[in-house]
Amino acid sequence: MTVQTLHIPLPEAIVQRLQHVAEATHRPLEDVVVQTICGNLPPALDDLSPASRQMVADLQTLDDAALWTVACTPLPAQQWRRHQRLLRKAQASALTATEQHALDTLRAATDRFVTRRSYALALLKWHGHTLPMEP
C-alpha cells in the first residue's frame, strides 16, 4: 500500500479528541486518524458486487432530503408479513413451487431494500448527519 502524507489543519478540539482516543486505546495517533477517516467514508462502489453497485449507484447523486426518504421509507408491511409467513411455513414444512418462488422473490426484494437503505444511511452519516437509533 502506497502511503502519502497530508498536512491538514484541524481544530484543536478535534486533535485533542483524537489524542484522547489514541491514549485510551494505546494506539498511535496516526492509526486513530486513519481508522477514523476509513470508518466514516461511505463504501466505495468498487468495493461492492456488480449487483449491489447497480442497486445503489443512483444514491450518490441524491440530495440529503432524498436520501432521508430512502433511509426512512419502511418495507411495505404486507410484503414483510408475506415474507415472514413463508419463512415460518418453510421451517415447518415444504413449500410448493409457487410459494418457494414467491419467497425467493420476496427475499431478493428485501435484500435490495436493505442494501439501498444501508447505503443511503452510510451516505447520510458521511454527510455529517446523526443517524437515528433503532430498538
Domain coverage including residue 22 = 10-40
pLDDT at 134: 65
Give the Cβ contact number of residue 73 at 10 Å: 12
Regarding whether 65 and 102 lie in a shared domain, the answer is yes
Distance CA 21, CA 33 (A): 10
Long-range contacts of 129-133 (CB under 8 A, 24+ apart): 129/64
pLDDT at 3: 87
Regarding whether 109 and 78 lie in a shared domain, the answer is yes
Is 2 within the bounds of a domain? no
Instruction: Provide the residue-wise pLDDT of the chain in tens; the chain has 135 residues.
Output: 798 999 999 999 999 999 999 999 999 999 999 999 888 887 788 888 898 899 999 999 999 999 999 999 999 999 999 999 999 999 999 999 999 999 999 999 999 999 999 999 999 988 989 887 765
Q: Are residues 82 and 106 in contact, defined by beta-carbon separation less than 8 angstroms?
A: yes
Q: Which residue has the cell 450518490?
A: 60
Regarding whether 53 and 115 lie in a shared domain, the answer is yes
Distance CA 37, CA 29 (A): 12
Task: Please report, as a single letter, which amino acid is at residue 132.
Answer: P
Is 18 within the bounds of a domain? yes
The model carries a pTM of: 0.75
pLDDT at 48: 86
> What single DSSP character describes residue 131?
P
Is 134 within the bounds of a domain? no
